[in-house]
Amino acid sequence: MLFLAQHGFRVVAHDRRGHGRSSQASEHNDMNGYADDLAAVIEALDLRDATLIGHSTGGGEVARYIGRHGTGRVAKAVLIAAVPPIMLKTEANPEGLPIGVFDAIRAGVAGDRSQYYKDLAIAFYGANRPGAKVSQGTLDQFWLWSMQAGAKNAYESVKAFSETDFTEDLKKFDVPTLVLHGEDDQIVPVKDSARKSAKLIKGAKEVYYPGAPHGLTATHQDQVNAELLKFIRD
């Protein structure tokens, strides 16, 4: 956000329902709720010709927003290490992750969530890879952000990001779209996300970073920023 603001763009972000500084609402902790919250922010600020950028679950929010609310206020879209089309392994998506993976996340969030988030940060930023250079500050930042989320909200978000099928939403994209993903993403495997999403989005531009983790906006910050700036300006 700082980088884009320094290059003359108005940059707006919101904390997802139940996360960060948003109130910890008991209901609507699902993709429809997230997308409608995004729509409320966009309409309240009367944003137009916006480029919607979503990372991870946020990419799902962008997809569901377009699926539910269209692109009347949207000029472009960017999906970074995003969860669509669907993460869960199903008969229709045999390459997906088994439900046990997401049950383990729920157990971590419902149990010793502080330690769980500290452990999760390692894979999130690829700090477990040979030669990785991930600062302690980056890992601590992940823990701090995670602990700001309500436990119920974080627990219910697991179902939202893992079981939601965005296939039909992606088919409704009718604006220039950038799909950007790290090829060593241990959280949202690239073969079952970005590569499939790009096939569903008409004319999508694909950019893949070899060896990059899920948290590539931190580990590959300069590359991602340059890519975003180029895409937004083109």
> Which residue numbers are catalytic?
56, 185, 214
**7-24: buried (b, 16+ CB within 10 Å) or exposed (e) per residue?**
eeeeeeebebbbbeebee
The dihedral built from the CA positions of residue 23, 27, 33 and 36, taken in this order, carries a sign that is negative
The DSSP bridge partners found for residue 97 are: 88
Calculate the CA dihedral of residues 2, 233, 213, 85 and round it to 10 degrees: 120
Say whether 148 sits in a helix, a strand or coil: coil
| Residue at 17: amino acid letter | R
Q: How far is CA 106 from CA 6, 59, 151, 181, 191, in A?
A: 39, 21, 10, 25, 24
Q: CA-CA distance, 97 to 94, in Å (whole number)?
A: 8
**Residue 230's CB: how many other CB atoms inside 10 A?**
11
DSSP string, 64-82: HHHHHH-STTEEEEEEES-
